[in-house]
Amino acid sequence: MAHKISAVLEYGAPEPGETATIMEDKLRFHTDSWDLSVDLKAGFSDIVVIDARSRDAYGAGHIPGAVSFPHGGIGCNASTKGAYQLARLGFRVKELLGGIDWWRRDGHPVTASHEPGSLLVAAE
């Protein structure tokens, strides 16, 4: 009888302290659509959403308030390449996990125009 090897445990499992360190780094470098939507609705002025996709993709649908900053020829990993370029220019950057696709999947609004728009709720 052949010995089965777990695909999950084939390379072992990290110690809890190792996991905590890696997860802390992931939280520093990435955000998700829920956290971003909460902060945008709250009006945090120090958070600027940059959309690094083409101007056509931006015009077809983007996160309200996002600024179009297309990076020519970026391709499918626009957020990673855009974050890289902005970081090299000295900006503090977090990448949105799943980009616009996960933003839409999670039910957050999308604006279809070449204007940034806003997620702030109008005062009643």
Give the CATH number, domain containing residue 37. 3.40.250.10
Does residue 31 form part of some domain? yes
Work out how many domains the chain is built from and give that number: 1
Contact indicator for 64, 116 with CB cutoff of 8 Å = yes
Token pair of 36 as six digits? 């971003």
Q: With pLDDT > 90 as the criterion, what percentage of the chain qualifies?
A: 60
* Domain hosting residue 49, numbered range: 16-105
Residue identified by tokens 């905590």 is: 20
Whole-prediction pTM value?
0.77
pLDDT digits (tens, 9 = 90+) for 57-68: 999 999 998 998
